[in-house]
Amino acid sequence: MKIEQLVTQIRKKQSFLCVGLDTDLEKIPTHLLDHEDPIFSFNKAIIDATQSLCVAYKPNTAFYEAYGAAGWESLSKTLRYINEHYPEMFTIADAKRGDIGNTSTRYAKAFFEEMDFDAITVAPYMGKDSVEPFLDFADRHTILLALTSNEGAFDFQTKMVENKELYKEVLKTSKSYKNAQNLMYVVGATKASYLRDVREIVPNSFLLVPGVGAQGGSLEEVCHYGLNADVGLLINSSRGIIYASQGEDFAQVAAEKARELQSQMAQELTKFGQNT
């Protein structure tokens, strides 16, 4: 998907919500467990209930890989369902890949060609030749981990390396990569105050911002520092939406939670004069 199409959807729905599909058999309602593919049944219900309120879905592949071949099949079915029924939706494989060049090429083929995701999260640690194979794919997006939402982000990402914080070096250096126009970045909502510095380095890039909801990040603060002329944000919530109820009403309650976030987003867009 082209960025312009994503921006069009955001303006139309007045939402830059990404719903995280971190589907866990131990957390989904028990009445689904006797379905042929409980993970897919759960995802399908969540997607149908929330699709008018969000512009992206982000399955974290760990939740599928944990169930082996059956989990991969549930992931493929989920992605096919989204692409067939809601083709305007932006899809992100939260897979956090990245390896030596020829291996990264195979990862990119797996997620962009075999599975047809719009975007994948990639760890920057192995550098340029590990990232550029993903960037070769036109209209697909490589979302580099810049400043993550977890506590451990302070172990390395904010450390000074040659007088610069490492996450800033990731942002700056990656801008020189071939096909850098296909880059987006992960910045955690729990690190919202850092977004001012992030925006100085990458004013025009889209940012995927996880950490609102279960991790306690503030949507308002993220918007204050992170919104740009093209909106430039995809804010993710996973557990706060999909497990808001573990009863038979799970999809309806998920939609209510998604609507709360969408309403706040619409207000923020109005505040920033981006509601047209």
- Interface residues with ligand LLZGTKA7 (CB under 6 A) are 20, 22, 60, 94, 148-150, 186, 188, 210-211, 213-215, 236-240
Residue number with CB closer to ligand LLZGTKA7 (255 or 274): 255
Q: Confirm if 183 and 205 have CB atoms less than 8 A apart.
A: yes
Shortest gap between Cβ of 112 and ligand LLZGTKA7 (angstroms)?
A: 19
**Angle between helix 68-85 and 38-50 (nearest 10):** 30
3-state secondary structure of 76: helix
Instruction: Output the smallest distance, CB 221 to ligand LLZGTKA7, in A.
Output: 16
96 is catalytic: yes
- The per-residue DSSP string of 187-256 comes to E-GGGGGGHHHHHHH-TTS-EEEE-BSTT-B-HHHHHHHH-BTTB-EEEEESHHHHTS--STTHHHHHHH
Closest by CA position to 93, among listed 113, 73, 115, 114: 115
Q: Find where tokens 């692409």 sit.
A: 83
| Cβ pair 19, 50 in contact under 8 A | yes
Min dist CB 34 to ligand LLZGTKA7, Å, is: 26
Q: Report the nearest approach of ligand LLZGTKA7 to the CB of residue 138 (Å).
A: 25
What tokens appear for 217 in the block? 């990040």
Which residue minimizes CB distance to ligand LLZGTKA7? Answer: 148
**Minimum CB separation from ligand LLZGTKA7 for residue 185, in Å?**
10
Q: Which is nearer to ligand LLZGTKA7, 17 or 274 (CB)?
A: 17
Task: Give whichever of 133 and 210 is closer to ligand LLZGTKA7, judged by the CB atom.
Answer: 210
Q: Which one from 96, 109, 164, 175 is the annotated catalytic residue?
A: 96
Indicate the residue among 1 and 214 with the shorter CB distance to ligand LLZGTKA7. 214
- To the nearest 10 degrees (0 to 180), the angle between helices 250-271 and 38-50 is 40
Cβ partners under 8 Å of residue 109, min gap 6: none
- 29/240 with CB nearer ligand LLZGTKA7: 240
| Amino acid at site 29 | P
Rounded distance between C-alpha atoms, residue 75 and residue 58, angstroms = 11
CB of 95 or CB of 269, closer to ligand LLZGTKA7: 95
Residue 89, C-beta contacts closer than 8 angstroms, at least 6 positions apart: 9, 51, 54, 55, 56, 57, 82, 83
Q: How far is the CB of 203 from ligand LLZGTKA7 (least distance, A)?
A: 21
Which residues are identified as catalytic?
96
